[in-house]
Amino acid sequence: MENHLLSILLAIPLVGAALILFLPKDKESLIRWTGFVVTIVAFLVSLFVLYKFKPAFPLFQMIDQMLWINTLHTYYAVGIDGISLPLVILTTFLMPLTMISSWKSIKKKVREFTFFMLLLEVGMIGVFISLDMFLFYIFWEFMLIPMYFIIGIWGGEQRIYASLKFFIYTMAGSLLMLVAIIFIGFYATEKLGYFTTLVTHFYTIGPELPVTISRWLFLAFTISFAIKVPLFPFHTWLPDAHVQAPTAGSVILAGVLLKMGTYGMIRFSIPIFPESAKYFAPYVSALAVIGIIYGALVAMVQKDMKKLVAYSSVAHLGFVVLGIFSFTVEGMQGAVLQMVNHGLSTGALFLLVGIVYERTHTREISEYGGIAKITPVFSTLFLIVCLSSIGLPGLNGFIGEFLILLGAFQSAVLGSWAFSIIASSGVIFAAVYLLWMYQRVVFGPVKNEKLLKLKDVTVLEFSIISIIVLFIVWIGVYPTTFLNWSDATVTNYIMKSLRQIGGIVN
């Protein structure tokens, strides 16, 4: 039972999706409830995974492995460690919330929507727990299909352009990775005597690759992940996709999908090509820092709230990448935590923007103003979430960003304080664009007559947001609960990487 726990977790949304197809199309509330119950069950199972998880054990655990394609030595192999665990929980946590939040906003084709959301969950969980590159790749690519439909069917005006751009961008990157995967598999043939795509084998084979080949393969992997993150200058699909996607799509896109890129960097780029990762670390970090500043500056001038949040993602994910490539325990811990933080804060921001959009049908900042008195509860929640995104001490964002900056500051691999210093200014910019937006939307005189009729959040909406806020505060006040999950894994990971690149273990 325990061995198959992760497979069960993976199977639940898949079975749910199949079930949805057989429900009658017009029984919308039945379909919605089924979808919601399935995601709740998946969340409960993931909590059970958490309960069974041994944080002190630094390697993969709960491994479920089975030979899949004999001739290629390809395995169905899933497992979890301290880095993937928080992301799996984040996924299963956000899914039920988005399911309820789309209760009202999704009115057409409910059955298809629920079906695609559940398929998306399969893909997302699969990406985080796969231990075979082939399996990983299948989930990685497969996930494009439901997301493509979610943006394309339920999206805004420009949805076709946005969904196509999203699809082709991601696919172009990932196919290069596929070629790289096969290439390493063959390199393994020379060492092991058989073709393999098992991640653990890649960890032993990868560092022995000749330097030039390793550099190219590192780029093939990392560009594919950088597109997903998105790292500057591969970010142009993101604002389009985010703005056009329905609220549920944006929440999942920002909350989970972007993390796949950073997760891929942690899981594959660095351990398989440690030497090249070290070589490219300053360049990647430079792009990350550019992304932090650029994302913040562009966010500042946005007129559309959703677009503002989308660009803020570019900046926030820049922090995560900086933390990853600092090669320090603090940086990596911060990166893992910040991935979760960003999922919570940005997810909540998109939900809040979605809530007012449903009522006013506009996201233009200039259309709003002075809603503090009209919708006090909304304004309070909005403030907390904005502050968490800015990184106010006491809320979650601060812990993650602080750890990352600390890591980057003392990083021997980056070798310069500059990264940390410039990145810190990103925190200030974040305060500027978010608080300025908040001020224009919430304070000041009521500009628009229509806003007077604006209704405050409903009980349901309040409970969705406050569950997220609970965690925002929890991580901010007592992050140890969450840092403990990944502590042993990250420490071991960094020690191993530093040994491989010949750095000093500090």
Partner 1 sequence: MELKDLYYSIPLIIIAAGILLELVIEMFVSNAKKILPILTFFILLIAGYYSLFTINQKIGIDGINGIFNGMMNIGGRAHLFYFLFNFGGALLVLISLNYIRKIEIDLGEYYILLLSSILGMMFIAGARSLVMIFIGLEQMSICFYILAGFRRKNMLSNEASLKYFLLGSFATGFLVYGLALIFGSVGSLMLFDLYSNALQLAKNPLFLIGILLFLVGFTFKIAAFPFHLWAPDVYEGAPTSVSAFMATLGKAAAFSALLLIMPGVTSIGANNVFLQILGVISVLSMMYGSIVAIVQSDFKRMLAYSSIAHAGYMIIGLASGNVNGTSGIIFYLTAYTFMNIGAFGIIALLENSEGSFLKIENYRGLASRSPMLAGLMAVFLFALSGLPPFAGFFGKYYIFYAAIQSNQVWLALFGVLSSVISVYFYLRVIVLMYFSEPADDAPIGELSQSGLMAIGAALVLVIALGVMPGSLIELINLLN
Q: By the criterion CB under 8 A, which residues form the site for partner 1?
A: 25, 68-72, 74, 112, 134, 137-138, 141-142, 144-145, 148-149, 152-153, 159-160, 163-164, 167-168, 171-172, 175-176, 178-179, 182-183, 185-186, 195
CA distance 36 to 34: 5
* Residue 67: CB minimum distance to partner 1, A: 9
- What stretch of H or E contains 144? helix 144-154
* Residue 152: CB minimum distance to partner 1, A: 4
> Which C-beta is closer to partner 1: that of 177 or that of 403?
177
- Listed in sequence order, the DSSP H helices in 193-304 are 199-205, 211-228, 237-244, 247-252, 258-264, 270-272, 274-300
Assign 315 to helix, strand or coil: helix
> Which C-beta is closer to partner 1: that of 137 or that of 398?
137
- What stretch of H or E contains 483? helix 480-501
Can you say whether residue 394 is alpha, beta or left, with left for phi > 0 and alpha for psi between -120 and 50 degrees? left
> Which C-beta is closer to partner 1: that of 195 or that of 357?
195
CA distance 203 to 192: 13
In this structure, is the dihedral angle defined by the CA atoms of residues 392, 393, 399 and 402, taken in order, positive or negative? positive
> Which C-beta is closer to partner 1: that of 244 or that of 411?
244
* Residue 226: CB minimum distance to partner 1, A: 17
* Residue 158: CB minimum distance to partner 1, A: 11
> Which C-beta is closer to partner 1: that of 66 or that of 505?
66
* Residue 391: CB minimum distance to partner 1, A: 38
> Which C-beta is closer to partner 1: that of 109 or that of 359?
109
> Which C-beta is closer to partner 1: that of 176 or that of 348?
176
* Residue 201: CB minimum distance to partner 1, A: 16
DSSP string covering 374-411: T-HHHHHHHHHHHHHHHT-TTSHHHHHHHHHHHHHHH-
* Residue 317: CB minimum distance to partner 1, A: 24
CA distance 468 to 312: 19
